[in-house]
Structures are given as structure tokens and as C-alpha cells.
Amino acid sequence: MRVSLQVSSALVLCQAILGVALPTAEKRATTTAASGPQFTNGQPDDGAGRGGPILGGTNKQIDLDNPDNLGQQSTDNGIVPNFKWRFSDSKTRIFRGGWLREQVIQDLPQSHDIAAAQQHLDKGGIRELHWHRVAEWGFVYAGSVLVSAVDEFGRYQVEKLDYGDIWYFPKGVAHTVQGLDDENEFLLVFDDADFDKAGTTFNVDDWIAHTPKDVLAKNFGLPASVFDNVPKPNPNIFNGTVSTKNVTDGPAGYLSGNASFVYRTLQHEPEKVLGGGGEFYKIDSTNFPASKTLAATFVRLKPGGLRELHWHPNAEEWLYFHKGYARATVFVGNTNARTFDFGPGDTAAFPDNSGHYIENTSETEDLVWIEVYKSNRVADIPLTQWLALTPADIVAQTLKIPIEIAETLKKEKQVLIA
């Protein structure tokens, strides 16, 4: 009797603190059973007696956008860390001439290989001259930009890049980027997840501002006063006017052919996609020889389509979702799996060798995303192809399926399934 009174008092106290009437378990079970699962309403309730409403503080919109995070998939199991980060949760740094927001390992600890950023440049806006101790990979998805680079041999390259064009600057290569259209934006990827640590990026004005002026005068053969107005501190991005000057007569020549730091994705044919579910472009050292440490794909998946079940034997997979909505379940072994929902601006890092798929959850809109690997090549092993190229009787015995079914599995990669 005393225990019953204590429980009743506790419920009354909770109601008073929260300002809501707490339904009894019996009433809640009856209500949810009648109305069905509540995941798409932003509640962790399967409508069959498991879960219940969220009564404390929560972000309702995030709950609505991520029903799989509320337990919607009954096949999820175990404790699997978060593999997702939204660029919208990143701190945006604004400058005269553009803005920048990053995703580094401190934001997404499961991304051990890759850091990334979205960068915006106004017309004439300049990402100042700099270099990194890591490689930089860029993909233009809005507007057009001018990239300029010089390597250790004195070879140079100045190119205009448009939608779908890519650059890759190896570790230590000097470079800059300028916006050409009214508004310009691109994805940046780096082959070191801890990109913000000291000793990673070196800006030219920062270096000059911290070098004695008499040394600068001797180095350049110029009066020391020439450097009186070098910015301090370095601006990162600044307003400028669109470049009209051409570089000519470089002593070591122009970076072209296999030495080029630029790859024009949409000027090449996509990979063969037997599943008929969209377009799949591969960009790695086999067709972009300069890109030795970062390999990538650019993918467009039709509404309702599926990137077939597969894994990558050579690297973690880092993803940027540009357009549309997706679902992916990541299997990390030992009975552990977790499903994630993705939308525009989301990034993710799937563990090395983890099994997964990506599904377009829209009935009307294409899903567009980019995959990047810290590797010189894109590599994957599809589940269906593996089973199809394994003796059918072994597959049948393992999965407890008819051998006739095992014998019909497709032996070629489907990649994207309509």
C-alpha cells in the first residue's frame, strides 16, 4: 500500500513539474495500438506496446526528419555510434567576400580519414593564396570559379571550373580560388580528419606578416615598404575583382594531360549501371591520375531507387548529400546495425568494410550525393554478386533459401537499382 502511494505521489509530482497529464501505460497502449506506429509523427512508439511519447525537451523537427533514429527499423540492433553530421550544425564563418563552414573530426568523430567544408564566394571573392600539409579536393556545385596552382617543379595551372568540375591539389601545392559568377559555392574535402589543427594550412599573407621586413626586401629584391599593408591577421576570404591577367611563359610549362589538377566530370561517360537506377560517375587515379590520395563518386539515384547492398574493402566511406532524401542502414558486424535518414547538407562516415545500402526515399525527386574515400581508387563488393559467384548450394544452405533462388542471383554489379 505504501509503495502504491509513493508511485502515485511521484506521478502527481511529475505532472505538476512537466505541466502535462501522464497517460497510464494501459491507456497509452490502447491509444497507440489504435493509431499505429508514431515514428513519422516524431514519437518513439511502435504502436504495439513498445516505446512511448517524448515528454521532455526535444527538437520536434529533427525527430520528424529522422524517424529511423526513433527506432522505426526493427532490424536495427546494438549500440552503434552516430555516423552523421549536418553542415547546418557547423559554425559558419562569414567574411567580406563569402563564407565557410566545416566538418572536422571534432564534429564527426567517426570520420577518421576525411574533413570537409562548404565554401561560398561572391563574384570576385578570393580564397587567399595558401597551401596545406594535406591534399585538397573540390567539387563545384553552384556558379563557376577560377583555380590557380603551382607545383614543386614550377609547373602551373589556371582554369575556370563550372558545375560538376573537380580539382585535386596534392599536399603542399600552392593554390587559390576565386568566384566568377554572382554567387559561387563548392564542396571541399581533405585527406586528414583533424583539419583545423595548427600546422595544416599556411596562408601567404600570414607568413609574410610574420617575416622580418629586411628579409622580405632581400628575398624579393624590393623596398621593405612594399609590404607595409600586408593584412594582419590573414583574412582567409576577401573581396576582390575578377582576374583578367594571364600567366604565360612558365619555365616548367603548364599542368595538363595526366599532370592536370582538374577533372571535368560531366564531360566523361558515367559508369555502366546494369540496375538502371541512375547515373554513377567514378573519379579516381584510374581516370584522374593526379588524385592519388582521394577517390570519389558522383551519384544520381532515381526516385525510389537503391544503391545496392555492398561494402568497400579499402577505406572508410565519407558522404555528402547534396539533393533529395535518403535512408541507409549500416551493418558493423557482431549483430550491430543502425539506420540513418539523410537530407540536403548532411554528411556521413561509414566505417571501413561496413555493409550498407543507400535508398532514395522520395517518390518524385532524384537523390544526388558524393562519396569520397582516402584511397587512390574506388572499390566495392556487392552482396548479390558475391553470393552469385559462390557455389549455389553453399549459399542456399547458409541462408536457408531454395537452391533455385540462389542460382538466379545476378553475377554482375547492379550498382543502382531502379
For residue 210, say whether it is annotated as part of any ligand binding site: no
Q: Among residues 185, 371, 404, 407, which one is catalytic?
A: 371
3-state secondary structure of 340: strand
For residue 175, say whether it is annotated as part of any ligand binding site: yes
- Best CA proximity match to 108, nearest among 304, 358, 349: 349
CA angle 146, 148, 154 (to 5 degrees): 160
Measured in whole angstroms, how far is the alpha carbon of residue 402 from the centre of its chain? 40
| All residues at 6 or more sequence positions from 353 whose CB lies less than 8 Å from its CB, including other chains | 311, 312, 313
Unique residue bearing C-alpha cell 579536393: 137
371 included as an active-site residue: yes
- Best CA proximity match to 121, nearest among 150, 149, 98: 98
Contact (Cβ atoms closer than 8 angstroms) between residue 347 and residue 87: yes
Cell numbers linked to 189: 574535402
Tell me the C-alpha distance between 192 and 116, whole Å. 9
For residue 310, say whether it is annotated as part of any ligand binding site: yes
Tell me the C-alpha distance between 348 and 358, whole Å. 12
For the chain, the distance separating the N- and C-terminal CA atoms, rounded to the nearest angstrom, is: 62
- Best CA proximity match to 122, nearest among 236, 244, 239: 239
- In degrees and rounded to multiples of 5, residue 86 shows phi and psi of -95, 130
254 secondary structure, DSSP code:
B
Query: Residue 123 CB: number of other CB atoms within 10 A?
Result: 17
Tell me the C-alpha distance between 190 and 99, whole Å. 18
For residue 356, say whether it is annotated as part of any ligand binding site: yes
For residue 322, say whether it is annotated as part of any ligand binding site: no
Tell me the C-alpha distance between 183 and 389, whole Å. 50
| All residues at 6 or more sequence positions from 226 whose CB lies less than 8 Å from its CB, including other chains | 216, 217, 220
3-state secondary structure of 216: helix
For residue 112, say whether it is annotated as part of any ligand binding site: no
DSSP-assigned beta bridge partners for residue 355: 331
Tell me the C-alpha distance between 374 and 385, whole Å. 24
- Best CA proximity match to 153, nearest among 246, 257, 247, 250: 250
The residue ranges of DSSP E strands in 218-314, in sequence order, are: 237-238, 262-264, 278-283, 295-301, 306-311
- Binding site as annotated, residues for Mn(2+): 130, 132, 136, 175, 310, 312, 317, 356
- Binding site as annotated, residues: 130, 132, 136, 175, 310, 312, 317, 356
Catalytic machinery residues:
371
